[in-house]
Amino acid sequence: MSKTKPLIIENLSFRYRIREDLAIKKINLSFEKGRVILIAGASGCGKTTLIRCINGLIPRSYKGEMTGRIMLNGKDITGMKLADISQVIGTVLQDPERQILGTKVINEVAFGLENLRFSRSEILQRIKEALTHLNISDLQDRDTFNLSGGEKQKVALAGVLAMRPSILLLDEPLASLDPASSEEALAMVRNLADEGMTVLLVEHRVEDVLKIKPERIIFLSNGEIRYDGITANLDQSINYREVKLPANMIIARAKQEPPKKCFAPPEVQKQYGHSSLVEFRNVKFYYEKGVEVLKGISLNIHKGDVIAVLGPNGAGKTTLVKHAIGLLKPKSGQVLVENRDTSELSVAEVAQTLGYVFQSPSHMLFAPSVEEELAFGPTNLGHNSEKIREEVSEAIQIVNLSGLGKSPPLALSFGQQKRVSIAAVLAMRSKILVMDEPSAGQDYLNYIDFMDSILQLPNFEAILFISHDIDLAVIYANRVLIINDGQLISDGKPQDVLRNLPHLRSNRLVPTTLLQTNLQLFSQTGKFYRAEALAHINA
């Protein structure tokens, strides 16, 4: 049997050295060639741990107690070198920041091949093929440091594909990709499997993955397998609140339950008055001279705004918000925060008004415990000790990290780390909350819960979030910006901006089933709702 199945997992359990509980428990699985296997489950359920065991990072890089065995092409990987495993199993990590080592894109894609001592001509040929496959040939000579999160994700994938593994492990590959790039990446995954590759895909965006018809879905809960089977039975076997399913599935399930009150964003205030919390005046910016990233952006952020910033990878979204918080200064134009020019303010001074959650948690986290991480910002803002304890406790509750206050942040899962970074900013209680990809690495239940809670906090006068998840804009925003090619393409109410489906696609935004269902019912509802609420609206 081991001859026909390239990967077999037998009675596998693992506990991290710094944790008391088992991360995964008695996992038994086997995988065939030419299949797409979706691995889903709540944040922290053991998905990434399973991936680390398969690719050999456990127990080589992550220490702890491991029992059971993993057979790769009939051979126990315990006795294999990591370099040998990596030639068969390619891995794209959840956070591309941890995977990219080269300063230039071409060097990054070449890194693994050079270590395997391929010839220069073979390396160049494979680089060309991988970049072409992902439609990122134009990035070849770019500095990796200046790439967007989504572009870094594609470059990391290119480096793995260039190695031509027979088994591909993808840990949250869609987290930083714009919707059109996600479609392209998933189509490529489907093609790779159809050509004979085994693809294990860890992903919270289940709705998107279902479009490529994975042969199998494995659902983990608390380190154990709760479901292992075909997609047809998925919606009845899994709690729809934990996994983001297509809107029609959620509506069908929610109709069988009593109505539940759902939080709705505040209406946009019509009369703004003369003052803005933040004002962009014809802002232009570039990282590399001659390559303009922002091309004359003008916009105002007002009290009561809940703004979703949408747009393709590399459009300038993160660059835009980094100007708002003073991390970047305009090459020309002005950014005003409460009528003060950011060019005359320190980042610390701006932080008293704007709290910023970075796209990558590794850019923020450093403290030895979650509680100390959350206390750092309020302490530096001069809050007293009693107030800090209250702020830290409330933030931990909001992002569902109870019981992890003493844990080292960097020992947590990526999704949990993301929630720690959000909580660290919540604890500062700034006037304006700015979040870059808040749902990345989050299961549906977690991000719905913390977004509901955040939008009901009285201290935030405005909230702005960058997202590739259009449904976040549908559910939470009262204003939507579309940024593309460094320009403000659209700015208005969600129902106005998101109504034009061809316009969305031209900006690499793909309509979701929730958006389409809301548009179909809009003449009756007059506003956008989440799927659970739509289930109880009389047609």
Convert the pLDDT of each residue in 318-353 to its tens digit. Answer: 999 999 999 999 999 999 999 999 999 998 889 889
d(CA 367, CA 375): 10
- Least confident residue range of 240-249, 430-439, 480-489: 240-249
Question: What's residue 145's pLDDT?
Answer: 86
Q: Is the pLDDT of residue 274 over 60?
A: no
Query: How far apart, in whole angstroms, are the C-alpha atoms of residue 6 and residue 75?
Result: 9
* Residue 259: pLDDT over 90: no
> Residues near 145 by Cβ (< 8 Å), separated by ≥ 6?
103
Examine the pLDDT at 3 and tell me if it is beyond 60.
Answer: no
Bridge-based pairing state of the strands 479-484 and 75-76? unpaired
Distance from the Cα of residue 95 to its chain's centroid: 9
pLDDT(174) > 80: yes
Confidence at 106, pLDDT banded by 50, 70, 90: very high
Domains and CATH numbers, the chain: 7-238 (3.40.50.300), 278-493 (3.40.50.300)
Closest CA to 71 of 56, 90, 61, 60: 56
> 4 pLDDT band (50/70/90 cuts)?
low
245: Cα within 13 Å, side-chain hemisphere: 24
User: Are the CB atoms for 238 and 261 separated by under 8 Å?
Assistant: no
Tell me the average pLDDT across 239-251: 86
Average pLDDT over residues 452-467: 90
State percent of the chain over pLDDT 90: 62
Mean of the per-residue pLDDT values for the chain? 90
Instruction: Assess whether the previous peptide bond of 96 is cis (omega < 30° from 0).
Output: no
End-to-end C-alpha distance for the chain, whole angstroms: 54
Cα–Cα distance, 132 to 124 (Å, whole number) = 12
- Which tokens belong to 263? 């939080």
Q: Which of 7-11, 54-58, 186-190 has the lowest mean pLDDT?
A: 186-190
**Euclidean distance between CA atoms 6 and 71, whole angstroms:** 8
- Contact present, 277 and 301 (Cβ < 8 Å): yes
pLDDT at 311 over 70: yes
Q: What is the pLDDT, as a whole number, of residue 261?
A: 74
Query: What count of Cα atoms within 13 Å lies in the side-chain half-sphere of residue 189?
Result: 33
3-state secondary structure of 448: helix
∠ CA 30-85-47, nearest 5°, is 50
Name the pLDDT band for 434 (thresholds 50, 70, 90): very high
Contact (CB, 8 A) for 165 and 113: no
The pLDDT value recorded for residue 539 is: 45
Mean pLDDT of 468-478: 94
Long-range contacts formed by 316-319: CB under 8 A, 24+ apart: 316/483, 316/485, 316/486, 317/148, 317/436, 317/466, 317/483, 318/148, 318/149, 318/359, 318/436, 318/466, 319/285, 319/293, 319/294
How large a percentage of the chain has pLDDT more than 70?
Answer: 96
The answer to pTM > 0.75 is yes
φ, ψ (nearest 5 deg) of residue 440: -60, 130
Whether 235 and 249 have beta carbons less than 8 Å apart is answered as yes
425 with 397: CB under 8 angstroms?
Answer: no
Measured distance CA(160)–CA(126) in Å, rounded: 11
Task: State yes or no: pLDDT of 14 exceeds 70.
Answer: yes
The predicted structure's pLDDT at residue 51: 95
How far is it, in rounded angstroms, from Cα 72 to Cα 3?
10
As a whole number of angstroms, the distance between CA 258 and CA 77 comes to: 50
The CB-side HSE value for 438 (13 A sphere, CA atoms) comes to 33
- Burial readout 224-263 (b: 16 or more C-beta within 10 A, e: otherwise): bbbbeeeeeebbeebebbbbbbbbebbbbbbeeeeeeeee
| Distance between CA atoms of residues 163 and 122, nearest Å | 11
Rounded to whole angstroms, the Cα distance separating 108 from 54 reads 23
pLDDT digit string, tens, across residues 369-378: 999 999 999 9
What is residue 517's predicted lDDT score, i.e. its pLDDT? Answer: 96
Report, as an integer, the average pLDDT of 427-452. Answer: 88
Q: Which long-range contacts (CB under 8 A, 24 or more apart) does 3-8 make?
A: 3/74, 4/32, 5/30, 5/31, 5/32, 6/31, 6/32, 6/33, 6/72, 6/73, 6/88, 6/166, 6/167, 6/198, 7/31, 7/54, 7/70, 7/71, 7/72, 7/167, 7/198, 8/70, 8/71
pLDDT at 234 over 90: no
Strand partners, 294: 285
- pLDDT of amino acid 367: 92
Per-residue tokens: 173: 């590959």
What is the phi-psi region of residue 304: left when phi exceeds 0, alpha when psi lies from -120 to 50, beta otherwise? left
